[in-house]
Amino acid sequence: MKSSIADLRKSYEKAELSEEASHADPLQQFDQWLHEAIRAELPEPNAMTLATVGSDLRPSTRVVLIKGYDERGIVWYTNYDSRKGRELAGNPYAALQFHWVELERVVRIEGVVEKVSAAESDAYFASRPLDHRIGAWASPQSQVIDSRSVLLANAAKYAAQFLMNPPRPPHWGGYRLKPDTWEFWQGRKSRLHDRLRYRLADGRWIRERLAP
C-alpha cells in the first residue's frame, strides 16, 4: 500500500530544555549541545544550513561546515564569488541552522556577517588537505560550466602550477556570523516542544520561552 507523506509522524521524547537547566549565555548552551552531538557520533554534527537573501529578495540556502566559534561568532569558509558570497556582499544579514535529528534538536542563529581577517583565512587554508586547496582554485563556484571535465582540467593545471604549496586564492576565505538571536529547539511529546530564544538587548542576552 502506498503511504502518504502527510501521514509520516514522529513522537519526540528524548529530552527536555528548561530555563533552569539551560545556560544564561547562548554560546555556552551551543557549545554544550554541539559537543553532545559530536560525542553521540552523529553524521556530520558540524553541518549547518546557511540562509542568505539576494538583491532580488529571493532567499537561498545551502549546507556549509562550521569551522570555529567563540564570543565573536560562528565561522565557515567558502568562495567569495559564489552565490552566497555575492548575496552577503549586498546584504550581510544571514541565518544558520543546525539540525541534529537523532537528538531531536535544532539550533537557529541569526545575525550580521563579516569576513574574517586575511590572517585567519590564510591559517585555515594552509591546514586543509592538498586536494582541497587545489579544489579552491579549480572550481569557479556557482558559475555555469560545460562539464565536469572543466573542473578536472582546472585541477590538473593548478596542481602543476603550484605543486605542493598552493597559496590561498584571493576569492576564497572565511566569514563570521555575529549572532544577535539564538533559538534552541528540543522536540517534546504531543508537539509541545521546548523553544528557548536568546536575543541581544543593550549588550546582554535576554532568554525567553516561545510557544511551539
Return the active site residues. Answer: 191
Sign of the torsion formed by the C-alpha atoms of 163, 165, 166 and 167: negative
2 DSSP assignment: P
Quick one: CA dihedral 37, 181, 61, 114, positive or negative?
negative
For residue 148 the three cell numbers come to 565536469
DSSP state of 117: P
Q: Residue 107, SS3?
A: strand
C-alpha cell at 81: 564569488
